[in-house]
Amino acid sequence: MPESPFALFLDIDGTLIEHQAHPEGIAVDDELRDLLVSAGEAAGGALAFVTGRSVAMVDRIFAPMAIPVAGLYGLEHRLTHGGEIETADEPEDVAAVAEAMQREFADASGVYFERKGPVFAVHTRAAPEAFDAVKASAEAALARLPTGYRIVAGNAGLEFMPVGALKSAAIDRFLRIEPFKGRVPVFIGDDVSDESGFEFVNDIGGLSIRVRPRGETEAHYALPDVAAVRQWLAEIIVPETIKSRRTGSLRATDRAG
- For 171-198, how does the pLDDT look when each residue is reduced to its tens digit (9 = 90+)? 999 999 999 999 999 999 998 889 999 9
Domains along the chain with CATH numbers: 6-87+165-252 (3.40.50.1000), 92-162 (3.30.70)
Tens digits of pLDDT across the chain (257 residues): 666 799 999 999 999 998 876 666 677 899 999 999 999 999 999 999 999 999 999 999 999 999 999 999 999 999 999 999 999 999 999 999 999 999 999 999 999 999 999 999 999 989 999 999 999 999 999 999 988 999 998 778 899 999 989 999 999 999 999 999 999 999 999 988 899 999 999 999 999 999 998 889 999 999 999 999 999 999 988 654 444 444 456 777 755 34
Q: Is 59 a catalytic residue?
A: no
Tell me what pLDDT residue 60 has.
92
Taking the CA atoms of residue 35, residue 44, residue 2 and residue 224 in that order, the dihedral angle to the nearest 10 degrees is 20
Tell me what pLDDT residue 254 has.
55
Say how far apart CA 116 and CA 54 lie, in whole Å: 6
Is pTM beyond 0.75 here? yes
**The one catalytic residue among 11, 59, 190, 194:** 11
Tell me what pLDDT residue 246 has.
43
